[in-house]
Protein backbone atom coordinates (compact mmCIF):
# COMPACT_ATOMS: atom_id res chain seq x y z
CA UNK A 1 0.00 0.00 0.00
CA UNK A 2 1.43 3.34 -0.98
CA UNK A 3 1.38 6.28 1.35
CA UNK A 4 -0.09 9.36 -0.22
CA UNK A 5 1.00 12.76 0.89
CA UNK A 6 -2.06 14.29 2.48
CA UNK A 7 -2.96 17.89 1.96
CA UNK A 8 -3.65 19.39 5.37
CA UNK A 9 -7.34 20.27 5.63
CA UNK A 10 -6.77 23.12 8.01
CA UNK A 11 -4.00 25.60 7.32
CA UNK A 12 -1.93 27.42 9.90
CA UNK A 13 -0.25 30.80 9.77
CA UNK A 14 3.41 31.26 10.72
CA UNK A 15 2.21 32.69 14.05
CA UNK A 16 0.15 29.62 15.00
CA UNK A 17 2.60 28.47 17.69
CA UNK A 18 2.75 32.01 19.08
CA UNK A 19 -1.04 32.17 19.44
CA UNK A 20 -1.04 28.82 21.24
CA UNK A 21 1.83 29.87 23.46
CA UNK A 22 -0.17 32.98 24.41
CA UNK A 23 -3.16 30.80 25.32
CA UNK A 24 -5.46 31.86 22.49
CA UNK A 25 -8.64 29.91 21.83
CA UNK A 26 -8.18 28.55 18.33
CA UNK A 27 -11.01 28.02 15.85
CA UNK A 28 -11.31 26.95 12.24
CA UNK A 29 -12.20 29.86 9.99
CA UNK A 30 -12.47 29.49 6.21
CA UNK A 31 -10.01 26.60 6.23
CA UNK A 32 -7.58 28.29 8.62
CA UNK A 33 -6.88 27.60 12.27
CA UNK A 34 -6.99 31.08 13.77
CA UNK A 35 -7.16 32.66 17.24
CA UNK A 36 -10.70 33.74 18.14
CA UNK A 37 -9.67 35.42 21.40
CA UNK A 38 -6.79 35.50 23.86
CA UNK A 39 -7.20 34.65 27.55
CA UNK A 40 -8.59 36.91 30.27
CA UNK A 41 -5.42 36.15 32.25
CA UNK A 42 -3.44 38.45 29.89
CA UNK A 43 -6.12 41.15 29.83
CA UNK A 44 -7.88 39.79 26.75
CA UNK A 45 -11.23 38.34 25.70
CA UNK A 46 -13.38 39.67 22.86
CA UNK A 47 -14.70 42.67 24.78
CA UNK A 48 -11.31 43.74 26.15
CA UNK A 49 -9.68 43.29 22.74
CA UNK A 50 -12.45 45.26 21.04
CA UNK A 51 -12.15 48.11 23.55
CA UNK A 52 -8.36 48.18 23.19
CA UNK A 53 -8.73 48.84 19.47
CA UNK A 54 -11.33 51.58 20.00
CA UNK A 55 -9.35 53.35 22.71
CA UNK A 56 -5.69 52.31 22.27
CA UNK A 57 -4.28 49.65 20.03
CA UNK A 58 -4.71 45.97 19.17
CA UNK A 59 -2.57 43.58 17.12
CA UNK A 60 -4.04 40.98 14.75
CA UNK A 61 -2.52 38.12 12.78
CA UNK A 62 -4.25 38.43 9.41
CA UNK A 63 -1.86 36.22 7.46
CA UNK A 64 -4.80 34.15 6.26
CA UNK A 65 -5.70 37.03 3.94
CA UNK A 66 -4.57 36.47 0.38
CA UNK A 67 -2.57 38.60 -2.04
CA UNK A 68 -2.56 38.81 -5.83
CA UNK A 69 -0.03 40.93 -7.70
CA UNK A 70 -0.69 42.24 -11.20
CA UNK A 71 2.26 43.82 -12.95
CA UNK A 72 3.01 44.77 -16.52
CA UNK A 73 2.26 47.24 -19.29
CA UNK A 74 -1.51 46.63 -19.17
CA UNK A 75 -1.87 46.05 -15.43
CA UNK A 76 -4.20 49.02 -15.01
CA UNK A 77 -6.47 47.88 -17.83
CA UNK A 78 -6.55 44.39 -16.29
CA UNK A 79 -7.44 45.71 -12.83
CA UNK A 80 -10.09 47.99 -14.35
CA UNK A 81 -11.64 45.05 -16.20
CA UNK A 82 -11.99 42.81 -13.13
CA UNK A 83 -12.85 45.31 -10.40
CA UNK A 84 -15.72 47.75 -9.86
CA UNK A 85 -13.93 50.77 -8.39
CA UNK A 86 -11.91 53.11 -10.61
CA UNK A 87 -8.27 52.11 -10.26
CA UNK A 88 -7.21 54.84 -12.71
CA UNK A 89 -7.78 57.30 -9.88
CA UNK A 90 -5.06 55.71 -7.77
CA UNK A 91 -1.75 57.51 -7.43
CA UNK A 92 1.30 55.34 -6.80
CA UNK A 93 1.11 54.39 -3.11
CA UNK A 94 -2.64 54.78 -2.89
CA UNK A 95 -5.24 52.08 -2.12
CA UNK A 96 -8.98 51.71 -2.58
CA UNK A 97 -11.78 49.42 -1.46
CA UNK A 98 -13.24 47.55 -4.44
CA UNK A 99 -14.75 44.23 -5.47
CA UNK A 100 -14.40 41.52 -8.09
CA UNK A 101 -17.77 40.83 -9.70
CA UNK A 102 -19.36 38.03 -11.65
CA UNK A 103 -21.07 38.95 -14.95
CA UNK A 104 -24.36 38.95 -12.95
CA UNK A 105 -23.13 41.87 -10.84
CA UNK A 106 -22.74 39.67 -7.75
CA UNK A 107 -19.57 39.23 -5.72
CA UNK A 108 -16.56 37.02 -6.37
CA UNK A 109 -15.00 38.82 -3.39
CA UNK A 110 -14.34 42.27 -1.99
CA UNK A 111 -10.74 43.46 -2.19
CA UNK A 112 -8.39 46.28 -1.38
CA UNK A 113 -6.54 47.39 -4.51
CA UNK A 114 -3.12 48.92 -3.81
CA UNK A 115 -1.16 50.69 -6.53
CA UNK A 116 2.43 49.88 -5.68
CA UNK A 117 4.17 51.20 -8.81
CA UNK A 118 3.59 52.68 -12.24
CA UNK A 119 2.24 49.36 -13.57
CA UNK A 120 2.00 47.30 -10.41
CA UNK A 121 -1.08 46.51 -8.31
CA UNK A 122 -1.60 44.36 -5.23
CA UNK A 123 -5.07 42.97 -4.47
CA UNK A 124 -5.62 41.89 -0.88
CA UNK A 125 -8.36 39.27 -0.81
CA UNK A 126 -10.25 37.12 1.69
CA UNK A 127 -8.89 33.88 3.16
CA UNK A 128 -11.83 31.69 2.18
CA UNK A 129 -11.77 32.82 -1.44
CA UNK A 130 -8.02 32.76 -2.18
CA UNK A 131 -7.95 30.05 -4.86
CA UNK A 132 -11.27 31.09 -6.36
CA UNK A 133 -10.13 34.72 -6.59
CA UNK A 134 -6.73 33.91 -8.04
CA UNK A 135 -8.24 31.64 -10.71
CA UNK A 136 -10.85 34.29 -11.49
CA UNK A 137 -8.28 37.06 -11.84
CA UNK A 138 -5.90 34.92 -13.90
CA UNK A 139 -8.62 33.60 -16.23
CA UNK A 140 -10.17 37.00 -16.81
CA UNK A 141 -6.99 38.96 -17.47
CA UNK A 142 -5.41 36.68 -20.09
CA UNK A 143 -6.06 39.23 -22.86
CA UNK A 144 -3.89 41.82 -21.11
CA UNK A 145 -0.11 42.22 -21.21
CA UNK A 146 0.20 41.69 -17.48
CA UNK A 147 1.67 39.09 -15.14
CA UNK A 148 -0.63 37.72 -12.42
CA UNK A 149 1.03 36.21 -9.37
CA UNK A 150 -0.47 34.55 -6.32
CA UNK A 151 1.56 35.89 -3.37
CA UNK A 152 -0.72 34.74 -0.55
CA UNK A 153 1.95 32.55 1.02
CA UNK A 154 4.69 35.13 0.62
CA UNK A 155 3.75 37.27 3.62
CA UNK A 156 2.90 37.22 7.25
CA UNK A 157 0.34 40.02 7.45
CA UNK A 158 -0.07 41.79 10.78
CA UNK A 159 -2.71 44.45 11.43
CA UNK A 160 -1.98 47.11 14.06
CA UNK A 161 -5.27 48.85 14.71
CA UNK A 162 -6.55 51.67 16.89
CA UNK A 163 -5.96 55.36 17.55
CA UNK A 164 -2.47 54.61 18.94
CA UNK A 165 -1.47 52.21 16.11
CA UNK A 166 0.54 54.94 14.42
CA UNK A 167 2.51 55.58 17.61
CA UNK A 168 3.34 51.90 18.01
CA UNK A 169 4.48 51.29 14.44
CA UNK A 170 6.41 54.57 14.35
CA UNK A 171 8.62 53.24 17.15
CA UNK A 172 9.61 50.31 14.93
CA UNK A 173 10.16 51.96 11.55
CA UNK A 174 12.24 54.66 9.92
CA UNK A 175 9.36 55.61 7.58
CA UNK A 176 7.57 58.85 8.46
CA UNK A 177 4.08 57.54 9.14
CA UNK A 178 2.61 60.99 9.74
CA UNK A 179 3.01 61.51 5.99
CA UNK A 180 0.94 58.41 5.19
CA UNK A 181 -2.75 59.19 4.83
CA UNK A 182 -5.60 56.70 5.37
CA UNK A 183 -5.70 54.23 2.46
CA UNK A 184 -2.13 55.01 1.37
CA UNK A 185 0.91 52.78 1.66
CA UNK A 186 4.60 53.31 2.27
CA UNK A 187 7.73 51.21 2.48
CA UNK A 188 10.45 51.26 5.08
CA UNK A 189 12.57 49.30 7.50
CA UNK A 190 10.52 47.58 10.21
CA UNK A 191 12.29 45.82 13.09
CA UNK A 192 15.45 45.80 10.96
CA UNK A 193 13.67 44.25 7.95
CA UNK A 194 14.22 46.37 4.85
CA UNK A 195 11.65 47.55 2.33
CA UNK A 196 8.57 46.42 4.25
CA UNK A 197 5.17 47.35 2.82
CA UNK A 198 2.95 49.20 5.30
CA UNK A 199 -0.61 50.16 4.38
CA UNK A 200 -2.73 52.53 6.43
CA UNK A 201 -5.67 50.19 6.07
CA UNK A 202 -7.71 47.80 8.20
CA UNK A 203 -11.01 46.17 8.96
CA UNK A 204 -11.88 47.68 12.32
CA UNK A 205 -13.43 51.09 11.43
CA UNK A 206 -10.43 52.58 13.22
CA UNK A 207 -7.14 54.12 12.15
CA UNK A 208 -4.37 51.57 11.75
CA UNK A 209 -1.78 49.83 9.62
CA UNK A 210 -1.35 46.46 7.97
CA UNK A 211 2.22 45.33 7.41
CA UNK A 212 3.54 42.59 5.13
CA UNK A 213 6.63 40.81 6.44
CA UNK A 214 8.53 37.64 5.45
CA UNK A 215 6.46 34.54 6.25
CA UNK A 216 8.97 32.42 8.16
CA UNK A 217 8.06 31.56 11.75
CA UNK A 218 11.13 33.10 13.37
CA UNK A 219 10.75 36.50 11.71
CA UNK A 220 6.99 36.49 12.18
CA UNK A 221 7.27 35.77 15.91
CA UNK A 222 10.06 38.30 16.39
CA UNK A 223 8.05 41.11 14.77
CA UNK A 224 4.81 40.09 16.56
CA UNK A 225 6.46 40.32 19.98
CA UNK A 226 8.32 43.52 19.04
CA UNK A 227 4.99 45.18 18.17
CA UNK A 228 3.40 44.01 21.43
CA UNK A 229 6.40 45.27 23.38
CA UNK A 230 6.39 48.63 21.57
CA UNK A 231 2.65 48.89 22.21
CA UNK A 232 2.86 48.15 25.92
CA UNK A 233 2.80 51.84 26.90
CA UNK A 234 -0.38 52.27 24.83
CA UNK A 235 -2.13 49.24 26.31
CA UNK A 236 -1.62 47.04 23.23
CA UNK A 237 -3.18 43.58 23.35
CA UNK A 238 -3.26 40.72 20.83
CA UNK A 239 -6.69 40.44 19.20
CA UNK A 240 -8.45 37.49 17.61
CA UNK A 241 -11.12 37.00 14.98
CA UNK A 242 -13.87 37.52 17.56
CA UNK A 243 -12.95 41.16 18.10
CA UNK A 244 -12.16 41.57 14.40
CA UNK A 245 -15.77 40.60 13.69
CA UNK A 246 -17.41 42.86 16.31
CA UNK A 247 -15.18 45.78 15.28
CA UNK A 248 -16.03 45.47 11.60
CA UNK A 249 -19.71 45.02 12.44
CA UNK A 250 -19.81 48.27 14.45
CA UNK A 251 -18.30 49.89 11.37
CA UNK A 252 -20.89 48.12 9.15
CA UNK A 253 -18.07 46.72 7.00
CA UNK A 254 -19.14 43.82 4.78
CA UNK A 255 -17.96 40.26 5.34
CA UNK A 256 -17.86 37.88 2.37
CA UNK A 257 -20.43 35.10 2.79
CA UNK A 258 -22.57 37.36 4.98
CA UNK A 259 -23.38 40.82 3.60
CA UNK A 260 -21.90 40.05 0.18
CA UNK A 261 -21.82 36.80 -1.81
CA UNK A 262 -22.26 35.32 -5.25
CA UNK A 263 -26.05 35.80 -4.94
CA UNK A 264 -26.05 39.43 -3.74
CA UNK A 265 -25.42 42.34 -6.08
CA UNK A 266 -23.70 45.67 -5.52
CA UNK A 267 -26.90 47.71 -5.22
CA UNK A 268 -28.43 45.34 -2.69
CA UNK A 269 -25.26 45.49 -0.59
CA UNK A 270 -25.34 49.30 -0.80
CA UNK A 271 -21.76 49.51 -2.02
CA UNK A 272 -22.69 52.03 -4.73
CA UNK A 273 -19.99 54.50 -3.76
CA UNK A 274 -17.27 51.97 -4.56
CA UNK A 275 -18.77 51.04 -7.94
CA UNK A 276 -17.86 53.45 -10.74
CA UNK A 277 -20.33 52.90 -13.58
CA UNK A 278 -18.79 55.77 -15.59
CA UNK A 279 -15.35 54.14 -15.84
CA UNK A 280 -14.50 51.87 -18.82
CA UNK A 281 -16.43 48.58 -19.04
CA UNK A 282 -15.85 45.99 -16.32
CA UNK A 283 -17.17 42.52 -15.57
CA UNK A 284 -20.64 42.82 -14.06
CA UNK A 285 -21.35 46.32 -15.34
CA UNK A 286 -24.06 45.42 -17.87
CA UNK A 287 -25.97 43.34 -15.34
CA UNK A 288 -25.71 46.11 -12.77
CA UNK A 289 -27.10 48.63 -15.21
CA UNK A 290 -30.08 46.37 -15.82
CA UNK A 291 -30.49 45.65 -12.09
CA UNK A 292 -30.46 49.35 -11.33
CA UNK A 293 -33.26 49.99 -13.82
CA UNK A 294 -35.31 47.14 -12.37
CA UNK A 295 -34.78 48.15 -8.76
CA UNK A 296 -33.71 45.92 -5.88
CA UNK A 297 -35.92 43.45 -4.03
CA UNK A 298 -33.83 43.45 -0.89
CA UNK A 299 -31.51 45.98 0.65
CA UNK A 300 -28.96 45.93 3.44
CA UNK A 301 -29.89 47.84 6.59
CA UNK A 302 -28.58 48.32 10.08
CA UNK A 303 -30.75 47.10 12.95
CA UNK A 304 -30.59 47.95 16.61
CA UNK A 305 -32.44 45.72 19.06
CA UNK A 306 -35.09 47.69 20.97
CA UNK A 307 -36.20 44.89 23.29
CA UNK A 308 -33.94 42.45 25.13
CA UNK A 309 -32.36 39.95 22.76
CA UNK A 310 -29.40 39.44 20.47
CA UNK A 311 -29.86 39.02 16.72
CA UNK A 312 -27.49 36.42 15.29
CA UNK A 313 -26.35 35.51 11.78
CA UNK A 314 -29.16 33.80 9.88
CA UNK A 315 -32.03 34.80 12.18
CA UNK A 316 -35.28 35.77 10.43
CA UNK A 317 -36.49 39.35 10.22
CA UNK A 318 -40.27 39.73 10.60
CA UNK A 319 -42.61 42.64 10.05
CA UNK A 320 -44.89 43.91 12.81
CA UNK A 321 -47.53 41.34 11.88
CA UNK A 322 -45.01 38.50 12.24
CA UNK A 323 -44.54 37.84 8.49
CA UNK A 324 -41.02 36.89 7.41
CA UNK A 325 -39.51 39.73 5.36
CA UNK A 326 -35.77 39.16 5.48
CA UNK A 327 -32.76 37.80 7.36
CA UNK A 328 -29.86 38.84 9.52
CA UNK A 329 -26.46 38.61 7.81
CA UNK A 330 -24.39 39.48 10.89
CA UNK A 331 -25.61 40.12 14.42
CA UNK A 332 -23.86 40.54 17.74
CA UNK A 333 -23.59 42.58 20.89
CA UNK A 334 -21.55 45.71 20.06
CA UNK A 335 -18.98 45.98 22.85
CA UNK A 336 -18.11 49.67 22.37
CA UNK A 337 -21.64 50.91 21.61
CA UNK A 338 -23.11 48.63 24.29
CA UNK A 339 -26.09 47.81 22.10
CA UNK A 340 -27.20 44.71 20.26
CA UNK A 341 -26.80 45.40 16.55
CA UNK A 342 -27.19 43.58 13.27
CA UNK A 343 -26.95 43.94 9.53
CA UNK A 344 -29.91 42.49 7.66
CA UNK A 345 -31.55 42.22 4.26
CA UNK A 346 -35.12 43.55 4.13
CA UNK A 347 -37.41 44.75 1.30
CA UNK A 348 -36.84 48.41 0.32
CA UNK A 349 -40.32 49.27 1.65
CA UNK A 350 -39.18 48.36 5.18
CA UNK A 351 -35.68 49.85 4.94
CA UNK A 352 -36.26 53.45 6.04
CA UNK A 353 -34.44 54.54 9.18
CA UNK A 354 -36.88 54.37 12.08
CA UNK A 355 -38.89 51.43 10.70
CA UNK A 356 -39.82 48.95 13.40
CA UNK A 357 -39.29 45.26 12.64
CA UNK A 358 -38.85 42.09 14.65
CA UNK A 359 -36.05 39.58 14.79
CA UNK A 360 -37.09 35.99 15.47
CA UNK A 361 -35.07 34.77 18.44
CA UNK A 362 -35.83 31.23 19.64
CA UNK A 363 -39.34 31.43 18.22
CA UNK A 364 -40.16 34.87 19.61
CA UNK A 365 -40.39 38.10 17.60
CA UNK A 366 -38.15 40.61 19.40
CA UNK A 367 -38.52 44.29 18.52
CA UNK A 368 -35.75 46.02 16.55
CA UNK A 369 -35.43 49.26 14.64
CA UNK A 370 -33.78 50.22 11.37
CA UNK A 371 -30.94 52.65 12.12
CA UNK A 372 -28.42 54.46 9.95
CA UNK A 373 -25.03 52.87 9.33
CA UNK A 374 -22.21 52.74 10.17
CA UNK A 375 -23.23 52.11 13.75
CA UNK A 376 -19.83 53.45 14.81
CA UNK A 377 -17.80 56.18 13.18
CA UNK A 378 -14.38 56.99 14.57
CA UNK A 379 -13.97 60.51 15.92
CA UNK A 380 -12.21 62.95 13.60
CA UNK A 381 -8.75 63.92 14.78
CA UNK A 382 -8.75 67.40 16.27
Residues that bind another protein (CB under 8 A): 25, 36-37, 40, 45-47, 242, 245-246, 308-310, 312, 332-333, 335, 362
Quote the least distance from Cβ 333 to another protein, whole Å. Answer: 5
Distance CA 254, CA 260 (A): 7
Quote the least distance from Cβ 260 to another protein, whole Å. Answer: 21
Quote the least distance from Cβ 69 to another protein, whole Å. Answer: 34
Which distant-in-sequence residues (6+ apart) come within 8 Å of 172 by Cβ? 190, 191, 226, 227, 230
Residue closer to another protein by CB (options 72, 333) is: 333
Quote the least distance from Cβ 309 to another protein, whole Å. Answer: 8
Residue closer to another protein by CB (options 196, 241) is: 241
Quote the least distance from Cβ 300 to another protein, whole Å. Answer: 22
Quote the least distance from Cβ 58 to another protein, whole Å. Answer: 15
Residue 82 near residue 166, CB atoms below 8 Å: no
Residue closer to another protein by CB (options 271, 341) is: 341
Residue closer to another protein by CB (options 26, 99) is: 26
Distance CA 263, CA 245 (A): 22
Residue closer to another protein by CB (options 52, 78) is: 52
Distance CA 50, CA 245 (A): 9
Residue closer to another protein by CB (options 47, 193) is: 47
Distance CA 144, CA 123 (A): 17
Quote the least distance from Cβ 75 to another protein, whole Å. Answer: 40
Residue 133 near residue 109, CB atoms below 8 Å: yes
Residue closer to another protein by CB (options 66, 331) is: 331
Quote the least distance from Cβ 241 to another protein, whole Å. Answer: 9
Quote the least distance from Cβ 25 to another protein, whole Å. Answer: 8
Distance CA 340, CA 332 (A): 6
Distance CA 98, CA 111 (A): 5
Residue closer to another protein by CB (options 38, 256) is: 38
Residue closer to another protein by CB (options 199, 335) is: 335
Amino acid sequence: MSVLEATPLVRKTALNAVHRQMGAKMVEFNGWEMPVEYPAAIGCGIVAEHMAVRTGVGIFDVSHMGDIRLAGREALAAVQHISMNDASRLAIGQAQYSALLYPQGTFVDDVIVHRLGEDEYLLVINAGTREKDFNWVRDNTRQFDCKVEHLSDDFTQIAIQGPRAVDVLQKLTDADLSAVKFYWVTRGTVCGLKNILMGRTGYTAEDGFEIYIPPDETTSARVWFAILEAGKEFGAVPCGLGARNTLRLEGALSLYGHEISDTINVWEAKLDRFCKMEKPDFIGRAALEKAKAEGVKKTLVGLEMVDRGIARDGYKVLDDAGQEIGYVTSGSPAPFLKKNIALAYVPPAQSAVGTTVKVEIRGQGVKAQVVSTPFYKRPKKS
